[in-house]
Amino acid sequence: MSFRGKALARPRVGQTGPDVRTAAVLIPKPGTAAGQMIDSGSGIVADLQQVRIAGRIEVFFEGGRYGADNVQTFEDRVTQAAGRLARQYPTVARGYFDPRDFVTVGAVTWTADWRQHAVQITSPATVAAWIGAPA
């Protein structure tokens, strides 16, 4: 898998700061509520440090369901979901789930001005299976 974003120095899941923010890239476990609700192949992100309601995490996702030209790759979908998380704008592509329903497969990091962003995948085989691509 190739990713276009500019790499930032050592992003960590949950890292925050005045200029840099990082969130986890997630894949739902089979048979979970998240796995049934979120389209296969979607880019899914969450700030795992922000437990919201009754121990649940707020998850943002993008499935590319409508074939937009700017949302073609897994990186595109993760980046779109991260934008939703960063800006907290109203969307139906958001939900509250038990964090145990997911596997963390990487991180997405961005600067406050969004000029630099990077998607780092730590489990390419899991992502490949999720998006239906060869590992």
Domain membership flag for residue 8: no
Domain membership flag for residue 72: yes
Q: Mind listing the pLDDT tens digit of every residue in the chain (135 residues)?
A: 444 444 444 444 445 566 788 899 999 999 999 999 999 999 999 998 887 778 899 999 999 888 888 888 999 999 999 999 988 888 899 999 999 999 999 999 988 877 788 899 999 999 999 998 876
Contact 5, 111 (CB under 8 A): no
DSSP-assigned letter for residue 82: H
Direct distance between the N- and C-terminal alpha carbons of the chain, in angstroms, rounded to an integer: 9
Model confidence, pTM: 0.83
Domain hosting 82: range is 20-123
Total structural domains in the chain?
Answer: 1
Domain membership flag for residue 11: no
